[in-house]
Amino acid sequence: MGHLKERYLQYDEPQKIMAAGIYPYFRAIESEQDTVVKINGKNVLMFGSNSYLGLSNHSQIKEAAKQAIDKYGTSCAGSRFLNGTLDIHLKLEEKLARLVGKDAAICYSTGFQVNIGVVSALCGRNDYLLLDSLDHASIIEGSRLSFSKVLKFEHNDMSSLETKLKLCEPDKIKLIVVDGIFSMEGDIVRLPEIVELAQKYNASIMVDDAHALGVIGKNGRGTASHFNLTDKVDLIMGTFSKSFASLGGFIAGDAPVINYLKHNSRSLIFSASMTPASVASVSTAIDIMISEPERIQHLWELTHYAQKAFKEAGIDTGKSETPIIPLFIRDDIKALQVTRILLDNGIFVNPVISPAVPKEDSLIRFSLMATHTFDQLDIAVDKIIAAFRQLDIIQR
């Protein structure tokens, strides 16, 4: 047996959890990503999706995807840099730049690729990347690929950020990279204070709006729009895999920066471009987001209702202010047990346990879609409260 197989034969953590009957990953869904999904032939209420606007199975978006396949085929068979640029890629980039109020934008094939390709490319050996400790894994990976100095500050803690800024040499690039809405905790970045600090220390700002587009800001335009600070943010990043019912991502900013990325960002240049169907889906999803503001309004009504119900039941929802609601359990095994009990009772939620978060922060990530009904929400809340009581996470 080679060393490779020998080493990984010893890796049996997932098998132990499977043996305990509480393995929660790779659950196969046999239907569309909707508020109700089919798992093992059974209908399950979906409260673990990132489809915040509920557009993943919208008939108009499906039709647009089909038409794009008919016209352009299923793949571009190459990178944007060489043979993989379509006219619809360019049109989508213009639309995205207008949407977020920036000069220019460029699309990558996933949001993860945007972050690794942008964060790694922009800062050189003597520059600084300043990251929130709860930034998404793709930002961390980007910083690992960069030659610059990486300084992490405490989550949403402005005095910690200022301490790190003071360590930086004044004449070097200092790029502060933050999530707009933090993906597990559901809190919003303190952008106004970050902008003040950035101005004081001559730093630049990149906001990852993966979870903010379609959720906050004017017509869902994201974090900078939410705070009316679009001009003060240098780079806005977004994914298409959440509110925009597709797959891919973009970075938007000043034209010279986007021009540099187009010619130097390796995950853009050395990876195939977004498929025609994905491009058409995003474009149509944006049109629907703008023309149907009632979706976002309903999402927020559900959010306020759910936050209130969980808090009244004594469930710790942390600092969430958005449709991402963490239900803190603070015990890995109980988080897996709750997930299992809920699935058996027809509710899909995601457990977040160590090492993704420290053991004492393990949680259930409950997330809402604009297409949920209040009846569906009531059913889920009741079952969650019952499961939390059953396992003594909250008192009866």
Ligand X SMILES: Cc1ncc(COP(=O)(O)O)c(C=O)c1O
Residues marked active site are found at 183, 211, 242
Closer to ligand X by CB, 285 or 341: give it.
Answer: 285
Residue among 80, 89, 102, 136 that touches ligand X (CB under 6 A):
136
Residue 208 makes contact with ligand X by CB under 6 A: yes
CA distance linking residue 35 with residue 374, whole number of Å: 12
Residue 110 makes contact with ligand X by CB under 6 A: yes
Stretch that binds ligand X, among 8-16, 25-33, 80-88, 109-117 (CB under 6 A): 109-117
CA distance linking residue 300 with residue 87, whole number of Å: 36
Which of the residues 253 through 272 are near ligand X (CB under 6 A)? none
Residue among 120, 143, 239, 337 that touches ligand X (CB under 6 A):
239
Stretch that binds ligand X, among 29-37, 203-211, 226-234, 255-263 (CB under 6 A): 203-211
Stretch that binds ligand X, among 4-12, 36-44, 208-216, 365-373 (CB under 6 A): 208-216
B/e letters for 365-382, b = 16+ CB within 10 Å, e = fewer, are: bbbbbbbbeeebbebbbe
Residue 115 makes contact with ligand X by CB under 6 A: yes
Residue 323 makes contact with ligand X by CB under 6 A: no
Residue among 249, 253, 276, 326 that touches ligand X (CB under 6 A):
249
Residue 112 makes contact with ligand X by CB under 6 A: yes
Closer to ligand X by CB, 112 or 153: give it.
Answer: 112
CA distance linking residue 396 with residue 390, whole number of Å: 8
Stretch that binds ligand X, among 53-61, 97-105, 108-116, 154-162 (CB under 6 A): 108-116
Q: For residue 355, say if its preceding peptide bond is cis, omega within 30 degrees of 0.
A: yes
- Contact of 207 with 178, CB cutoff 8 Å: yes
* Separation of CA 196 from chain center: 25
Residue 185 makes contact with ligand X by CB under 6 A: no
Point out which residues pair with 46 in neighbouring strands.
Answer: 348
| Count of residues that interact with ligand X, criterion CB under 6 A | 14
Residue among 93, 179, 234, 332 that touches ligand X (CB under 6 A):
179
Half-sphere exposure of 379 (CA within 13 A, CB side): 16
Shortest distance (Å) from residue 208 CB to ligand X: 5
Write the binding mask 11 to 50 for ligand X: x where contact by CB under 6 A, - elsewhere. Answer: ----------------------------------------
Closer to ligand X by CB, 140 or 379: give it.
Answer: 140
Q: Which residue is nearest to ligand X (CB)?
A: 111
Residue among 48, 84, 111, 276 that touches ligand X (CB under 6 A):
111
Shortest distance (Å) from residue 223 CB to ligand X: 11
Q: Give the residues lining the site for ligand X (CB under 6 A).
A: 110-112, 115, 136, 138, 179, 183, 208, 210-211, 239, 241, 249
